[in-house]
Each structure stands twice: as C-alpha cells, then as structure tokens.
Structure 1
Amino acid sequence: MKLTILVDNHTLIDEYYLGEPGVSYYIEDGENRVLFDTGYSEVLLSNARRAGIHLEDLTHIVLSHGHNDHTNGLRFLQENIDLSGVMLCAHPHCFLPKYDGEEFIGAPYNSAEIERITRYTPTSGVRHLSERLIFLGEIPRENDFEACPTIGRTIVDGCVAADTLRDDSALVYQNGEGIFIMTGCSHSGICNIVDYAQKVCGEERILGVLGGFHLLEDSPQLDGTIAHLKANRIDAVYPCHCVSLLAKTKMMAALPVQEVGVGMVIEIDP
C-alpha cells in the first residue's frame, strides 16, 4: 500500500503544497485507487496535480464521516471528474444534514444526490474494499475514558436530534505483519477504533495509526489515550488534523510520534 497525504492542516518544509483544515489520503492498493475523505475545497485537486496523482483513475471514495472538512471537496471533485463509475463507501448517516448552531457543517450532497453522482453503497457494517483494505463501518464505543461528545445537531427520519456522529468510521490495511489504521477525526474515539480494528481483523499487531484523533486539551481522555496506545506497542503514530500541539507534545513523550504533512508518503508492504 502506498498512501499520499493530499489534504491536512499542515505542510512540510520544502514541500510546496497547500494546507487547509481537512483530511484527504490517496491510497494505492494493487489495482485500486482509493480516496479517503476529500478535504474542504479545491485544495485537493491542486495538491493532487502537484503530486502527479490522476484522480480520474479513482476506483473508490471512502468517507470517514459527514463533516464538511472531510466531504466538501466532493463538490470540486465532481465538477472536474466523472465519478459515475467510482464506488463510494460511507455510513448511512454520512449524508444527513448537520448543523452547528445555524451553520451547516454537513456534506455538500444528500443521499439521493450522491447516488446519482457515484456508485454509492451506504454501509453501517464492515466492508472489504479489497483483500487487504477494510472499511470498519459503525464503531462500537466501549471504553470508559473517551468522551465521544455530540457535535451540533442532525435530522434523522424527519426529527431533529443531537448528532452523536454514528457515521464516524475508519479504514484498515492488513498484511502479514499487522494492521495500519487510518482515521478522519476519530469522533468515535481513537482507542475504540483501534480495539475494533483489532477485533475485525483478528490481529493485535499495529503497524501504525494515522489521522485526526480529536485531542485538543490536556485531559484524562488524553492520558487514557496515550496509555492505551502505548500498551498496544504501536510501531508508528501519526497524529494530525484535529490534534493540538499540546496533545502531540504530550504524546511524543510516550509514543513513537511521526510528523505529518501534505505530500508525505507512507508505504506499507503488501
């Protein structure tokens, strides 16, 4: 597997890409070309061109959840590329309306619209995109230290409700050496995601964890997360997007934390 970071909050020294508060990873897995999240704007397209990546070759789009910093790039992608043959994998709640106060923070399309644009398959369960690449679906929330708070509100079956982000999910790549976990924001809790990935894959060894962990403040949740990840002896931890400098600094004291930025490439043996 070859993963290229196309959208993140940060860029790297002497790598002249654009950054924005969002996430998008381009994944090459055999013949599959998978885009995990789409960022917020046309930055995705600009960075892909600079990296020499042809998004016209996409076979799959996977969305971690429905917030606009992960889905709004779909609009710019659709305006420039024919997505009618691209399989789109996301939780059924991903395309529900989402609001923070009066501000709309959801995806640019609803389910009916995205079904016309792509080959959309809503799934709340585990789905294999290939022999080695797995979409986890809805994540069980079982530990006692990850808060998993509601964010704004959504509309389910015509009723307004607090948004528990049931649509928050992750991708896993599995080879003979272990698993590599990719997240968007980890609203369901990065440790819950790790535990579920191990259960689904029947594999305890973790080669790496990449993504936003939604850790911003010094808190019991941050301490619990560090302890949990340390106990799992993860080879490499790549916190990005919605992880504060404070949280990264504290994690670095206990974990093999790696820098993340747009244009960075991670390769995992098949």
Structure 2
Amino acid sequence: MIKIVIDNITNSKLLAQHGLSILIDEKKRILFDAGQDEKVLEHNLKLLGEKEKFDYFVLSHGHYDHSDGLKYLIENELIETVILHKDALKKRFYNGRYIGVSEEVKKLLDKVNVIFIQDEFRIDKDNIVLGDIVRKFYYEPEDFKDEKGKDLVEDELILISKNRLITGCSHSGVINVIEHAKNFEVIRLVVGGFHLINASQEYLEEVLRYLKVQEFKFIPLHCTGFKALCSLSRLKNFVFGCAGMVVK
C-alpha cells in the first residue's frame, strides 16, 4: 500500500504544502521524504491513522521541502534508520536563499542510525534505493547553488518498491530517472515529483511524447506544476494524485 502523506495539493482534511512525503506500508514501513514542516507531517500522519514506527526513512535529496519534517519523526522516536545520499547535507541555495536541510535536523540525525549511500542500497528483496542517476537524456536543470557554486543536485535518490518507482523531485530529469530505474526492475507505476514546474514547452512536449508510449501508470505530484499536470492529464496512463490518496 502507498499513501501520499504530503503534497502541494489536497482534497481532504490533510494539509497541503510545497513539499512531499510518501509512505510505503507493506512488509517494511518506509517513509520517503518528510515535507518541509514537522507540524504538517504530524497532522497528516495522524489523520491517516499512522501511529506506528517506520522501519526506514529515505530522503530523496537535501532540500528543505523534503527533509525538515524529519524533526517530528526523530523527536517522537518514530524512525530508527535514515538513508541519505552522502552529499545530502551540503549547504544549498536558490536565488541567495538557503534551501538545504535545516541545521536543527542535521543535529537531530545524531539520534538515529544514518546510512549514507551513493549508488544503491537494497533494503530487502522488494525495496531498493538508487542514486547516481545517469543523465543520458535531455533535461532542464534549475539554477541551484551550493557553497562552491553551481549545484546539479547530484544527491538524488529514488526508491523502487515492487515494480513501483517513487521519486522526490526528478532533478536529474524525469525521463532519466525512469530509464535508470528500468535497469533494475520492470516499472508498473511511477509516483512523485516530475519537476516540470518551470519546464519549457519544448521539454514538456518531450516528456509527454515519452510518457505517452509507456505501459506504466504515473501519478505526478509536488513540483510537477499545474501547467504540466494539465498537459499530462490528457494521457491515458495519467492518474491524479494528492495528499491523502491511497494506492493499493
């Protein structure tokens, strides 16, 4: 079962925010991202009836809108193991504004077991976390920066759980992300951010052409953007998603 805990859109009493959090609840309870605010994460988890501990937390990349809800999980002892890319804690900026993992959350990580990875980490036979996404196909990177200059968000992690691909923001390009995942599993469903919010018409049309011929269904969330959602919704394999959605 997959539950969308946090998204930019909601159609229920769950709160919406610019952020993402997705729960995979099967043999292992895995929370993928935590949104940007511990209060929103707490509110939404409680409304979804989620009170039990999580076996693993996976951070898709080191941006605050995916990481900072971790404060609630760690302070309330709801998580034991956190999986991060080795570069996830680097300082990051956008237009001069700090957008990385908060210093408070970084300090709290001392209280849990942290696994730093780069390329891949298998949780069990059904779940694998992947990094080092090959950027073979065209994509449009944002103008993010770290303390040393340009930041291509190379700390991106994705999760494959039983033929379902979970993405954070697809900063590596959604086509690249999906094609990378296909090297490990046959993908039947893609859920998460597609990062098309500022996409050019040229790039958006390229993504549309790619998705149109795919056999998997996809649920674009978070940073996909309203304009792109409208275009994607015309495809037969599109599924609308928002906070509170449950996929069985």
Q: TM-score, normalised by structure 1?
A: 0.85
Match of 1:258 in 2: 239
- Between the aligned partners of 1:139 and 1:125, the Cα distance in structure 2 is 8
Residue 107 of structure 1 and its aligned partner are, at CA, apart by 0.6
Determine if the alignment matches structure 1 residue 229 to structure 2 residue 226: no
Determine if the alignment matches structure 1 residue 20 to structure 2 residue 8: no
Determine if the alignment matches structure 1 residue 220 to structure 2 residue 202: yes
Q: Aligned pair in 2 of structure 1 residues 246, 198: CA closer, same or farther (>3 Å)?
A: same
Which one-letter code corresponds to 2:53 in the other structure? D
Which one-letter code corresponds to 2:188 in the other structure? L
Determine if the alignment matches structure 1 residue 152 to structure 2 residue 136: no
- Between the aligned partners of 1:263 and 1:79, the Cα distance in structure 2 is 24
Match of 2:98 in 1: 104
Residue 232 of structure 1 and its aligned partner are, at CA, apart by 2.2
What is the aligned length? Answer: 246
Match of 1:211 in 2: 192
1:226/1:255 contact within 8 Å kept: no
Q: Judge which range, 125-134 or 104-113, deviates more.
A: 104-113
Identity %: 28
Instruction: String of CA shifts for 1:156-210, please: whole Å, max 9, x gaps.
Output: xxxx121110011211112xxxx21111110011111111111123x3xx31111
- Between the aligned partners of 1:59 and 1:119, the Cα distance in structure 2 is 11
- Between the aligned partners of 2:64 and 2:154, the Cα distance in structure 1 is 16
Q: Aligned pair in 2 of structure 1 residues 112, 46: CA closer, same or farther (>3 Å)?
A: closer
Residue 152 of structure 1 and its aligned partner are, at CA, apart by 2.4
Which one-letter code corresponds to 1:61 in the other structure? F
- Between the aligned partners of 2:235 and 2:19, the Cα distance in structure 1 is 26
Match of 2:181 in 1: 197
Determine if the alignment matches structure 1 residue 64 to structure 2 residue 64: no
1:92/1:124 contact within 8 Å kept: yes
Q: Aligned pair in 2 of structure 1 residues 91, 133: CA closer, same or farther (>3 Å)?
A: same
Match of 1:37 in 2: 33
Determine if the alignment matches structure 1 residue 165 to structure 2 residue 162: no
Residue 4 of structure 1 and its aligned partner are, at CA, apart by 0.9
Pairwise CA RMSD: 1.8
Which one-letter code corresponds to 1:106 in the other structure? G
1:96/1:111 contact within 8 Å kept: no
Determine if the alignment matches structure 1 residue 185 to structure 2 residue 169: yes
- Structure 1, unaligned stretches of length 5 or more? none
1:95/1:109 contact within 8 Å kept: no
- Between the aligned partners of 2:97 and 2:195, the Cα distance in structure 1 is 20
Residue 245 of structure 1 and its aligned partner are, at CA, apart by 2.0
Match of 2:131 in 1: 137
Which one-letter code corresponds to 1:29 in the other structure? E
- Between the aligned partners of 2:143 and 2:65, the Cα distance in structure 1 is 14
Residue 113 of structure 1 and its aligned partner are, at CA, apart by 3.4
1:218/1:247 contact within 8 Å kept: no
Could you say what secondary structure the match of 1:127 adopts? Answer: strand
Residue 151 of structure 1 and its aligned partner are, at CA, apart by 3.4
Determine if the alignment matches structure 1 residue 118 to structure 2 residue 115: no
Residue 256 of structure 1 and its aligned partner are, at CA, apart by 1.8
Instruction: String of CA shifts for 1:239-267, please: whole Å, max 9, x gaps.
Output: 11111222112112234211111111112
- Between the aligned partners of 1:187 and 1:115, the Cα distance in structure 2 is 24
